[in-house]
Amino acid sequence: MMLDELISEFDRSLRSMTGVSRMSRPVPAPAEPSDVELSPAERTRAAGLMRVNHVGEICAQALYQAQKLTARSPALKTLFGDAAREEEDHLAWTAQRLKELDSRPSLLNPVWYAGALAIGIAAGALGDKVSLGFMAETERQVESHLDGHLAELPAADTASRAIVEQMRADEARHGKSAMDAGGVELPLPARMLMRAASKVMTITAYRI
């Protein structure tokens, strides 16, 4: 069983890094599609923000895969697996939107994936409650980060905004599920370190 799980997660990791991600839900559609053509500057801005979001989903795949593999409880393995499948939707949505904006994913995706995988393994090694707390804090920070993107995306880019809004709703639900499952609040230094690492990632991924 463990070998089958490792093979399955290896397949998921390859698909994540090569951009061959599968979506189980259609790309969210805007309630009121915009007929306004984005300017070159707006397209560049939107592409940079969606590239950051795509990197975040690469990291989410690695984190949840690592946490699923290190979870002691079968119920938590299921929780992490379900969250990873929804995050794979996000990965596919953001990848498609980048293509529509004539842009590309981050060139450093293998680096982001490897770093997040190591962090996920470390969190899982500290026990299920800490791992769940890490998941909840990660989702809180991602939710805040997506709020910022909704404020920064061009108003006319309703396609990107619809994707980000659905991602935000999913992340909030994942965070609540983690706390409901027994997650513990992480200490302030750990939360601050996570914010600092996220800041470095977002600044770098926006450009590279």
Q: What is the DSSP string of 4-56?
A: HHHHHHHHHHHHHHHT----SSPPPPPSS---PPPPHHHHHHHHHHHHHHHHH
The answer to whether residue 31 sits within a structural domain is no
- Would you say residue 9 has pLDDT above 80? no
pLDDT digits 0-9 by tens, 41-87: 999 999 999 999 999 999 988 888 888 888 888 888 888 888 888 88
The token pair that represents 99 in the structure block: 């293509």
Residue 98: give its domain's CATH number.
1.20.1260.10
- Total domain count for the chain? 1
32 falls in which pLDDT band (50, 70, 90)? confident
- Tell me the whole-structure pTM to 2 decimals: 0.83
- Would you say residue 3 has pLDDT above 50? no
11 falls in which pLDDT band (50, 70, 90)? low
Q: Give me the mean pLDDT over the 110-133 stretch.
A: 88
pLDDT digits 0-9 by tens, 128-145: 899 899 889 988 999 988
The answer to whether residue 148 sits within a structural domain is yes
Q: How far apart are CA 142 and CA 13, in angstroms?
A: 21
20 falls in which pLDDT band (50, 70, 90)? low
User: What secondary structure does DSSP assign to 128-188, as a single string?
Assistant: HHHHHHHHHHHHHHHHHHHHHHHHHS-TT-HHHHHHHHHHHHHHHHHHHHHHHTT--PPPH
The answer to whether residue 177 sits within a structural domain is yes
Instruction: Name residues whose C-beta falls within 8 Å of residue 7's C-beta, 6 or more positions apart in sequence.
Output: none
The answer to whether residue 47 sits within a structural domain is yes
Looking at residue 125, the DSSP 8-state letter turns out to be H
List the single range of 3-7, 14-18, 38-42, 116-120 with lowest mean pLDDT.
3-7
Structural domain including 83 reads 39-207
The answer to whether residue 12 sits within a structural domain is no
pLDDT of residue 203: 87
The answer to whether residue 129 sits within a structural domain is yes
The type of residue at 15 is: R
The answer to whether residue 18 sits within a structural domain is no
CA-closest candidate to residue 141, choices 79, 81, 201: 201
pLDDT of residue 1: 47
pLDDT of residue 161: 93
The answer to whether residue 3 sits within a structural domain is no
Q: Give me the mean pLDDT over the 83-93 stretch.
A: 89
